[in-house]
């Protein structure tokens, strides 16, 4: 069986081939081609396309393609069910879904940056997901610090570091908010590392402390919130299509934009626009 998807895989397009090879078809051929060629090449090669809009094996609502594979092929292995929200969180930038999601995204992004050949990238990706599966099946209860003394010392340290009372907001927080507001409209790939470096503040520290000063949101969640607020303004005041608004607000495509919008606003953007236009018409009447 041949499976085909977009080139330059990172999360879903590595996780799904791993799932296919390990649980569906051990001898499956996985092909990566430019997005515009996926459907035509699938027809020519009698291949099954996945992880692109408009095909069966794709994203649905807030679920990613990996979730659909599990459902479609009735894969109920508890370890796979543990991996699913990790993949979904990494693939949709919602790292609140699983503690491991941000780590999977970082490893996957670094892997794709280092390896330019997609088949070699897949080979390394299979190793990573084999390791993740072993952890999910056998090692979830195992901690890096095993001895009672180590655990006690860590508990004391965490208690000591726990914030007490109301702290003064650091200067860098105000400066970071201003930088984000200045760049949100023009820089569609805002990087916390780059912003931190421009403030001369350690990026790791900013990442750890970010939610404390930004509405209990991670950097990714905060940026998505600002982009959705911008999208709301565009939906209410411009005739731009949803695809154009997705582009202008920094989402990868209309499907991603619609999914995040619905999650935050509890209705999809087209319904939101219709309800706002209807409300304005009723007001005029």
The pLDDT tens digits for 43-61 are 999 999 999 999 999 998 8
Residue 222 has pLDDT above 90, yes or no: no
Same-domain check for residues 82 and 6: yes
Residue 98 has pLDDT above 80, yes or no: yes
- Greatest mean pLDDT among 98-107, 136-145, 203-212: 98-107
Same-domain check for residues 228 and 271: yes
| Residue 284: band (very low, low, confident or very high) from pLDDT cuts 50, 70, 90 | low
Between residues 95 and 74, which one has the greater pLDDT? 74
Same-domain check for residues 245 and 201: no
**pLDDT tens for residues 22-39?**
999 999 999 999 999 999
Same-domain check for residues 94 and 195: no
Count the neighbouring beta carbons within 10 Å of the beta carbon of residue 188.
14
Same-domain check for residues 209 and 259: no
Q: How many structural domains are present in the chain?
A: 3
Same-domain check for residues 78 and 195: no
The four Cα atoms 53, 54, 60, 64 give a dihedral, to 10 degrees, of -40
| Residue 136: band (very low, low, confident or very high) from pLDDT cuts 50, 70, 90 | very high
Identify whether 162 is part of a domain.
no
208/178 Cα distance (integer angstroms): 19
183-196 mean pLDDT: 71
| Residue 74: band (very low, low, confident or very high) from pLDDT cuts 50, 70, 90 | very high
| Residue 281: band (very low, low, confident or very high) from pLDDT cuts 50, 70, 90 | low
85/64 Cα distance (integer angstroms): 9
Q: What's the pLDDT score for residue 167?
A: 58
216-236 mean pLDDT: 87
135/166 Cα distance (integer angstroms): 39
Tokens describing residue 85: 């929200």
* 50 in Cβ contact with 28 (< 8 Å): no
Identify whether 155 is part of a domain.
no
Same-domain check for residues 103 and 30: yes
Same-domain check for residues 26 and 127: yes
87-94 mean pLDDT: 90
Q: What's the pLDDT score for residue 68?
A: 96
| Residue 189: band (very low, low, confident or very high) from pLDDT cuts 50, 70, 90 | low
Q: What's the pLDDT score for residue 275?
A: 87
Residue 161 has pLDDT above 70, yes or no: no
| Residue 188: band (very low, low, confident or very high) from pLDDT cuts 50, 70, 90 | low
Same-domain check for residues 92 and 208: no
Q: What is the DSSP string of 127-187?
A: HHHHHHHHIIIIITT--S--SHHHHHHHHHHHHHHS--SPPPPPHHHHHHHHHHHHHTTT-
pTM of the full structure: 0.55
Which domain, by its residues, includes 230? 221-284
Mean pLDDT of the chain: 86
53/18 Cα distance (integer angstroms): 21
């Amino acid at each position: 069986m041949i499976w085909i998807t977009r080139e330059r895989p990172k999360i879903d397009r590595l996780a799904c081939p791993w799932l296919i090879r390990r649980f569906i078809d051990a001898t499956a051929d996985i092909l990566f081609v430019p997005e515009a060629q996926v459907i035509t090449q699938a027809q020519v090669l009698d291949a099954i396309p996945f992880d692109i809009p408009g095909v069966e094996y794709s994203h649905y609502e807030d679920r990613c393609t990996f979730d659909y594979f599990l459902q479609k092929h009735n894969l109920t292995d508890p370890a796979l069910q543990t991996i699913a929200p990790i993949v979904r969180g990494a693939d949709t930038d919602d790292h609140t879904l699983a503690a491991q999601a941000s780590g999977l995204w970082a490893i996957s992004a670094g892997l794709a940056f280092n390896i330019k050949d997609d088949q070699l990238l897949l080979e390394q990706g299979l190793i990573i997901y084999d390791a993740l599966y072993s952890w999910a099946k056998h090692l979830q209860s195992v901690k890096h610090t095993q001895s009672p003394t180590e655990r006690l010392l860590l508990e004391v340290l965490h208690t000591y570091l726990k914030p007490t009372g109301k702290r003064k907001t650091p200067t860098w927080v105000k400066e970071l908010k201003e930088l984000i507001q200045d760049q949100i409209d023009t820089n569609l790939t805002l990087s916390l590392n780059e912003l931190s470096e421009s403030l001369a503040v350690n990026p790791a520290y900013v990442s750890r402390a970010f939610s404390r000063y930004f509405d209990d949101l991670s950097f990714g969640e905060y940026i998505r919130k600002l982009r959705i607020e911008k999208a709301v303004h565009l939906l209410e005041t411009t005739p731009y299509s949803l695809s154009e608004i997705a582009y202008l607000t920094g989402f990868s495509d209309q499907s991603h934009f619609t999914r995040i919008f619905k999650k935050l606003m509890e209705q999809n953007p087209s319904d939101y626009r219709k309800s706002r236009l209807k409300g304005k018409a009723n007001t005029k009447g």
